[in-house]
Amino acid sequence: MGGAGLLVASRAADNGKAAAPRPALTVTTAKPESARLPVGLAANGNVAAWQEAAIGSESNGLRLADVKVNVGDVVRKGQVLAVFDAAPVEADLAQAHAAVQEAQANAAAARADAQRARALQSSGAMSEQQITQYLTAERTAAARVASAKATVAQQQLRLNYAQVVAPDAGVISARSATVGAVAGVGTELFRLIRQGRLEWRAEVTSAELPRIKPGQKVVVKTAAGAGVAGRVRTVAPTVDAQSRVALVYVDLPPALSAGAPLKAGMFASGEFALGESAALTVPQQAVVVRDGFAYVFRLNTDNRVSQLKVTTGRRLGERVEVTGGLAPDVLVVTTGAGFLNDGDLVRVVQPLAAR
């Protein structure tokens, strides 16, 4: 009987061990941490040229002989963009020079006659009418010389206009110049993005507008997802009466290369940097998303976990801001949180970095 009693007691102890619950998972835990995270304001808008110059023809009736640049070319101030056939202007200029020489010869003869008339004025050998005629002829001849020189200057200007030059450095954004075409005065030949400067015209609601100041940093996202740094230049003085949206002009880096990430005409999103604020954060792996909601698992004193629904906010690196649903002194499961259910028993170990 004694041996049988020991056997029964041994079996009861074994059954007790078998009935003890086993941990569902080995996990690590961490407490939420306070941090200062950047505050941003997201917006959308169009990328446009800072200033676009229209370069037109200043010559009338001349044939376009050569076009030296194309769309996308980077040009410097004063660079020749196109050349008109200057032969007709050169002929007119030569004729104007000849007219100056003729006028100067006539002026010399008129000046000599006037000098003789002045010498004889006191002698009475010539009438006052004749003297007046010689003096008037002298002044008329001098005026004709001045007029002929003005014609030379005008023709020289036309000759200069035979070369179309860039008014500023920048990038050619459009070209309508065609070799052989006869362009009239004012005909647009090229469009130029001055200095290659672009701007992002962000659309911001009137409620958010007071938070934006000139000089603030901005990150504009490209189509490939990369960020381009910019800076607020100015805020529009008016708000659209229909949409209640105002434009914020953000300076972007010059787009002087063909591989520039942003182009004029693109639609882009971006974020204004408005400073920093305090936040309660947890490791990103502690947040579990199920059915469109975010949860964390709180570790209880009995090593069981409770599922807590939380609201999340900003992200910085591997940490996520929790804006609601979590106290700052709660232990939350980090490693393995995605495999747990509410009420699971876990075994807690220290993270490798803490050992």
Query: Do 113 and 203 have their domain in common?
Result: no
Query: pLDDT tier at 176 (50, 70, 90 boundaries)?
Result: very high
Q: 79 and 186 in one domain?
A: yes
Would the pTM of this model clear 0.85, i.e. be above it?
no
**DSSP one-letter code for 24:** S
Cα diameter, the chain: 178
197: left (phi > 0), else alpha (psi -120 to 50), else beta? beta
Residue 336, domain member (yes or no): yes
Give the Cα separation of 64 and 333 in Å (integer). 76
Identity of the residue numbered 146? A
| Token couple for 39 | 């505050």
Position with higher pLDDT, 187 vs 21: 187
Rounded to the nearest 10 degrees, how much is the dihedral formed by the CA atoms of 102, 105, 109, 115?
A: 130
State which H helix or E strand residue 133 sits in. helix 128-161
| CATH number of the structural domain spanning residue 183 | 2.40.50.100
Which residues make beta-bridge pairs with 280?
Answer: 34
Q: What is the DSSP string of 93-123?
A: HHHHHHHHHHHHHHHHHHHHHHHHHHHHTTT
Identify the bridge partners of residue 46 per DSSP, sorted by sequence position.
201, 267
- Residue 144's CATH number: 1.10.287.470
d(CA 212, CA 325): 31
Of 194, 209, 239, which residue constitutes the final position of a domain? Answer: 194
pLDDT, tens digit (0-9, with 9 covering 90-100), for 50-79: 999 999 988 888 899 999 999 989 999 999
| Average pLDDT score over the chain | 87
Instruction: Identify which of 189, 148, 232 has the alpha carbon closest to the alpha carbon of residue 66.
Output: 189
> According to the model, what pLDDT value does residue 246 have?
93
Instruction: Specify whether 45 is located in the same domain as 103.
Output: no
Average pLDDT over residues 188-214: 92
Contact 142, 87 (CB under 8 A): no
- Assigned domain for 11 exists: no
CA-CA distance, 14 to 100, in Å (whole number)?
Answer: 128
Q: Are residues 68 and 103 in the same domain?
A: no
Owning domain of residue 181: 59-85+162-194
